[in-house]
Amino acid sequence: MARIGYARVSTLDQDLDVQLSKLKAEGCGVIRAEKVSGASREGRAELATIIEFLRPGDELVVTRLDRLGRVQNRSCAAIAGS
């Protein structure tokens, strides 16, 4: 079982450091991060990589659910891998 962290900020001038520190503190062995809008999954290569990499029993760790997407149903779709 792996703990895989995902960090995202929406704009280039935002900082990932706080999220990365929290993910490391939670024991994530792999952390993927990107600076891209959460409005859609297009262009979110790191999230796509994680979804493809996840195996049964792995845990996807985020600091806040909105890091997966702005809209709740998009966040659920991201988790489901659809």
Annotate 8-49 with DSSP letters as a single string.
EESSTTS--HHHHHHHHHTT-SEEEEEE--SS-STT-HHHHH
Tokens found for residue 45 = 């290569």
Selected catalytic residue, list 10, 21, 40, 82: 10
Which residues, in sequence order, are CB contacts of 11 under 8 Å at separation 6+?
Answer: 35, 37
Annotated catalytic residue 40: no
Q: What residues are annotated to the active site?
A: 10
